[in-house]
Structure 1
Amino acid sequence: MDNVPIELEEAAWVDGASTLASIQKIIAPIMFPGICVVFIFTFSGSWGNFFIPYILLQTLNKLPASVTLYQFFGQHGMIIYGQLAAYSAVYAIPSIFLYILSQSYMSKGFNMAGAAKG
């Protein structure tokens, strides 16, 4: 939020915008790509969390998808590559979907980034 030029906010106030309107129309669109990046990193870190659930959780019905994916490597003494590939593809769908959804919003904040001279 510190990187958003104060001149843009002041220009909105000169044009008659209230504080809430300047946040909604000026500040939020510029900050949205950064918020998306933080959300994607947080989601990816949580979705791919492996070590803590692997150590702490003992019941099979509470294991997250990352630990279940790991169990395909040693189940029944052999690796079934077809099931492993299918489960890996299904496991990657939420991250891919999140990227596709946020991709269009990521570039909107860059349109106003050069509005103020440095």
Structure 2
Amino acid sequence: MHPDTWTAFFGVFPSRTITRGKPYLLPSGRLGSRPGKLNLWALESKPAVHSDRLEPHLRYLIDRLSLPRDDVRERIERADARMRFFCYWDNETGNRVPYVSEATRKLIESIGGVLEIDEYR
């Protein structure tokens, strides 16, 4: 599904998009050397949330997307798409545990979303 469809659906402008077969900007701001392989609609929390905990970032995304919504899971399935909450977790010291409340985990699961945490040491 074209990224503009998700912009209209959520009523939120994304941080980044990729359209299959079209040139796209890398996170660095440079133009990618190849056309997009997939359609992507991404909303980032980092510019708006100043916290080193995951929960505030997830709550920001949930609030901005007005989740939960009755129609979101069906829309994702019908589009053969995925909703992924992808988090970078900076854990240089190795002693920090990423906390996500049970309520937030259940909400993400209820809409067919997946929570992925990429830990950096």
Give TM class, smaller chain. Answer: under 0.3
Considering fraction of residues, name the structure with more strand. Answer: 2
Considering fraction of residues, name the structure with more helix. Answer: 1
Larger radius of gyration: 1
